[in-house]
Amino acid sequence: MRLCPSVMHLFARWLRSCSRRSRNRMPQRLREPLSYVQLLISSLYFNSLTNSDVVVDSLFEPVFWMVDILTRWFGKVFVFLVVALTSSILFIAYVCLLPMVLNTYTPFWIVWHVCYGHWNLIMIAFHYYKATSTSPGYPPKMKNDIPFVSVCKKCVIPKPPRTHHCGICNTCILKMDHHCPWLNNCVGHFNHRYFFSFCLYMTLGCLYCSVSGRTLFIDAYNAIDSYHTSSTPYTFKDRMFHKSVIYMWVLTSTVAVALGGLTVWHAILISRGETSIERHINSKEAKYMTKRGKIYKNPYNYGKLNNWKVFFGVEKKSHWLTRVLLPSGHVPYGDGLAWDIYPLKKDMMPV
């Protein structure tokens, strides 16, 4: 770890001595690029805190920059894919499956499928729209008296607790969790609940389609498989119906597994009072404290139940219905700038 700055220092001295010998015979147009290269190399060992991690990050900075640019450009494409794929499933459900349900199912199951399916659809559409259109929250750029923990090196503004810089949005985000390309937006203090609720209800919707359509998928697969050996006529309408059922089941099952895993991971983080970024920071801090015989405690962990109450904004029992199971546009607790507003006790909200 300590060898790297010395090597870089020797390399810079050698480069500087070579440049001095050739400076007189070097054209003016090449002197400025050479000076810039010297400045870059010197910045790698400008203080004693430089180590191999800093050097690797500096070398990979062009790669990170390219990833940020591509993610920013393709954000709208990802949003279009979410809308298009979801719309395709809705088209199959309304055109192909709903008439069959109305003609073959009992009244009880008809009411169940119609009510649950439309409730789930409303929750998905509402939370996705809110997650994409709601600002995650930004720290003030003007001078103020709000407490801060550091200064952003890129924005050059004070960073409140739990605030991190997003290279894709090119700004600091309050209680940043991550930048989601499927939302074309950062997930932060003011839209974190919308993001998680969208993931949750989209997973439930995909599970619903996968479980309820399993028998239809098997029948459609067998029908297509036996098409070449059967003597019965196989019309274009039948072929499109079976292929649509297979497409719906494969897509919803795949999304249910992938998005379900992501939803479970975020549920674990919420139970611990952490974001995705804080998970890595807290893990490093816990290891650092353990080596010194101490125990690290997350200051934003109020207990599993209280963490969920704070996250969903539950203040009374009826809020589990009106703010969790029904669409709600209420704002989260606090302003995302200060985090000492919640009393740390056993049962913060007796709900």
Q: Are 226 and 212 in contact (CB under 8 A)?
A: no
User: How far is it, in rounded angstroms, from Cα 41 to Cα 54?
Assistant: 12
SS3 (DSSP) at 173? strand
- Cβ count near 290 (within 10 Å): 11
Spatial separation of the C-alpha atoms in residues 35 and 42, rounded to whole Å: 10
Which stretches of the chain are assigned E, i.e. beta strand? 150-151, 158-159, 164-166, 171-173, 178-180, 185-187
Query: 164: which residues sit within 8 A by CB, 6+ positions away?
Result: 172, 173, 176, 277
Q: Which residues contact 189 (CB under 8 A, 6 or more apart)?
A: 136, 137, 162, 173, 174, 175, 332, 334, 336
Strand partners, 164: 173
Q: What is the residue type of 169?
A: C
Q: Which two tokens stand for residue 183?
A: 């939302």
Structure tokens at 275: 């974001």
Quote the CA–CA distance of 322 and 77 in Å, as a whole number: 33
- Helices 192-212 and 236-272 meet at what angle, rounded to 10? 140
User: And the tokens for 125?
Assistant: 């559409």
Classify residue 93 by its DSSP letter. I
Q: Which residues pair with 166 in a beta bridge?
A: 171
Q: What span, in angstroms and rounded, lies between the C-alpha atoms of 323 and 320? A: 6
> What does the alpha-carbon distance between residue 166 and residue 282 come to, in Å, rounded to a whole number?
19
DSSP state of 327: -
By annotation, the residues acting in catalysis are: 180
